[in-house]
Amino acid sequence: MAPPFPDLEAHVEDSPKRIRVLFGGAFVVDTRKAKLVWENRYYPTYFFPQSELAPAHIQRAAEHPDGDKYDLRVGAKTAAGAVTVYTGAAHQHLNSLLKINFSDADAWFEEDEQIYIHPKDPYKRVDVLKSSRHIRVEVDGVEVANSRAPRLLYETGLPVRSYIPKTDCRLDLLVPSEHTSVCPYKGEAHYYHVQVSPEKRVDNVVWWYRNPNLECAAIDGLVAFYDEKVDVWVDGEKQGKPKTLWS
């Protein structure tokens, strides 16, 4: 779901938050002048006026259709091409702004809270609701979950996810995985494989949050299944496959 403004590609709005970017042991950006820019329809990116990043921290690396690419430097630490300074005619709404690649910085802070993956979208909402719906899940024809006490997670623009108590699952079929992922709204997810038979294992089809973020605390310890990869019945009705694999 796109944010509620018509021209996504040209939309820039002020962020009311103090934003700090840590790199090489120094805050290379510490500003109350950050901008939110939607480079895609799912989440925004922080951009900054060029004056908010000291010239001593950048070194020109290459030309780019969007503008010029710069290396980010603090002492002996360098992130090649981590900074884009926008000057191109095709992005006039971004001229005089720059972007630091989120993953190239050591840490990002909104006020005094560290954020992960990307900034949160101010137009997105996440709600977790208790439910008495009957949720049943099969993997390759084997029932692996059967619950009448799920928590339903509603996240703007994404499919509803059912979080199920582990005691309502076939725990003997869940095999811990080393895979993890991070969501800026929910926190760090851990995964399970499902061992449906000695010969057949479906990898990373279940995830759960050991210590979810405060706004999603109600899913602590519960498990969710990739509905795209399993068969799900809700109140006896088999569900169609969602169109997205986002969790």
73 — phi, psi (to 5°)?
A: -135, 135
- In order along its 247 residues, the chain shows pLDDT tens digits of 456 766 666 788 999 999 999 999 999 999 999 999 998 888 899 999 999 999 999 998 877 666 789 999 999 999 999 999 987 666 778 888 999 999 999 999 999 999 999 999 999 999 999 999 999 999 999 999 999 999 999 998 889 999 999 999 999 999 999 999 999 999 999 999 999 999 999 999 999 999 999 999 999 999 999 999 999 999 999 998 886 544 4
pTM for the model: 0.83
Give all domains of the chain, ordered by start, each with its CATH number: 8-115 (2.170.150.40), 126-238 (2.170.150.40)
Tokens of 72: 């980010």
